[in-house]
Amino acid sequence: MKRVVVTGLGAITPLGNTVESFWQNILAGKSGVGLITKFNTEKYKTKFASEVKDFNAEEFLDKKELKKFDLFTQYAIASSDQAIKDAGLDFTAMDNDQLAEVGVIWATGNGGISTFEQQLAEFHAGDGTPRFSPFFIPKMIVDIAAGVISIRHKLRGPNYCTVSACASSNTAIINAFDTIRLGKATVMIAGGSEAAITEASVGGFNAAQALSKRNDDPQSASRPFDADRDGFVMGEGAGALILEDLEHALNRGAHIYAEIVGGGMAADAYHLTGTPPDGIGAFLGMTKALKDAGISADKIDYINAHATSTGLGDLSELHAIKTVFNDLPVIIGATKSITGHLLGAAGAVESLISILAIRDSIIPPTINTKNLDENIPEGLNIVLNEAVKKEINYVLNNTFGFGGHTASTIFKKYKA
């Protein structure tokens, strides 16, 4: 099978709207969390989230186009445009046969939920006459971001959306990886976007007892593995990767960030929203990724854990990691402590972190964790408070979603 490399990155995040600004804030352990500005939270149990700041969609779209796209699609366009530019790809110079070899697999968990809420509110505020925008459906449906990226650049390769809750964009990356190495495309744009900080979404997650309610100190609310954690912090944004056939990348002289060598997907088969204490789905996803990469567990230098700061979820994942890695000196980090949880975009944004950690030989800190939960298995090496300088050859990136979905990817330092 073909080797697959990463040649371009793009980011729209609560910590910066370029890859490098995002990365510097990650390394500094600067929290992206603050009070919600998108709606009045007076009656909400949770009043904070990790919002994207200073995003100017008009840098990527004209005002007429903006009306056609929900915010999650705007984030997708902006991040994918960045990644395409970063990769040095010029689609206008490609003929139709070449464009048929370029595809898009783009993920989201909630799609155009803000559009859905807004249109339904307008309907109920009216006289009952169904006056909906002609853009309502195409703004709302989850696959539209993938379609728009394809239309924007005239890309005619494989094109679809993956939805597996918070594992969605890791799933998209694995599928894009498989598409290239099986020879079904030469270049794939893969990633995910989410813009779900809305009244219904926050209210719904509150009802599910999933969100932190630490309103007196929002920036310290996301505290994975901490004894006092009380739920995750919702985030938004997008991450984009350009995956490319190695031979194609070399022939055009592309800069190569890293190689993707393995992907594993599995299921907890356990509960709608909860995770099993033994982390069986996480265990299976990680072991499948290792098998796919053709490496043993001792090769992994860094695990970017899913670690959302929920009571059962964090422990479930750590028990699975302990089972796979036992007492190996792999370093575990939890960057959601900094970013919050970007839901369907989390896997893509954390893939950027994994790749940049390889590039710069540094592991980002886990912030806010002061008192490790006494139920954490012994012998695990969790990086806290300060970034750690370390040569990194392999990174494992975990993401898990409601419904029991698990997806793990492995990135490797590129060597010719």
Selection from 109, 112, 381 nearest residue 225 by Cα: 381
Bridge partners for 341 per DSSP: 234
Contact indicator for 352, 206 with CB cutoff of 8 Å: no
Cα–Cα separations (whole angstroms), residue 214 to 32, 147, 253, 254: 15, 38, 49, 46
Q: What percent of the chain has pLDDT over 70?
A: 100
How far apart (Å, rounded) are the C-alpha atoms in residues 106 and 145? 7
Bridge partners for 407 per DSSP: 265, 399
* 149 contact partners, CB below 8 Å, separation of at least 6: 76, 77, 80, 104, 106, 155, 189
Selection from 81, 97, 354 nearest residue 242 by Cα: 81
* 83 contact partners, CB below 8 Å, separation of at least 6: 8, 9, 10, 189, 191, 240, 241, 242
pLDDT digits (tens, 9 = 90+) for 287-313: 999 999 999 999 999 999 999 999 999
Mapped onto helix, strand or coil, the DSSP state of residue 309 is coil
Q: Would you place residue 109 in the very low, low, confident or very high pLDDT band (cuts 50, 70, 90)?
A: very high
Mapped onto helix, strand or coil, the DSSP state of residue 205 is helix
Q: What is the mean pLDDT of the chain?
A: 97
pLDDT digits (tens, 9 = 90+) for 9-43: 999 999 999 999 999 999 999 999 999 999 999 99
What is the helix (H) or strand (E) element at residue 27, kind and residue range? Answer: helix 19-27
Q: Which amino acid is at 278?
A: D
Q: What percent of the chain has pLDDT over 90?
A: 97
Are 4-251 and 262-412 the same fold in CATH? yes
Say whether pLDDT at 252 is over 90: yes
Q: What is the mean pLDDT of residues 405-416?
A: 96
N-to-C CA span, the chain = 16
CATH architecture of 262-412: 3-Layer(aba) Sandwich (3.40)
How far apart (Å, rounded) are the C-alpha atoms in residues 262 and 390? 22
CB atoms within 10 A of CB 125: 7
pLDDT digits (tens, 9 = 90+) for 90-104: 999 999 999 999 999
The pLDDT score that the predictor gives to residue 29 is 97
**4-251 belongs to which CATH class?**
alpha beta
Q: Which is it for strands 331-333 and 381-382: parallel, antiparallel or unpaired?
A: parallel
Contact indicator for 258, 413 with CB cutoff of 8 Å: yes
Residue with tokens 């809305």: 198
Say whether pLDDT at 64 is over 90: no
What is the helix (H) or strand (E) element at residue 237, kind and residue range? Answer: strand 237-245
pLDDT digits (tens, 9 = 90+) for 317-340: 999 999 999 999 999 999 999 999
The pLDDT score that the predictor gives to residue 416 is 85
Ranges of each domain in the chain: 4-251, 262-412
Is residue 143 classed exposed, middle or buried when 0-12, 13-18 and 19+ CB atoms within 10 A define those classes? middle
Contact indicator for 112, 73 with CB cutoff of 8 Å: yes
Indicate yes or no: pTM above 0.95: yes
Q: Which amino acid is at 166?
A: C
The pLDDT score that the predictor gives to residue 129 is 92
Cα pseudo-dihedral 69, 73, 74, 77, rounded to 10:
-120
Selection from 151, 150, 144, 162 nearest residue 188 by Cα: 150
How far apart (Å, rounded) are the C-alpha atoms in residues 281 and 191? 22
Say whether pLDDT at 224 is over 90: yes
Active-site residue list: 166
Residue with tokens 């409601």: 402
Strands (E), 96-236: 102-107, 159-162, 187-194
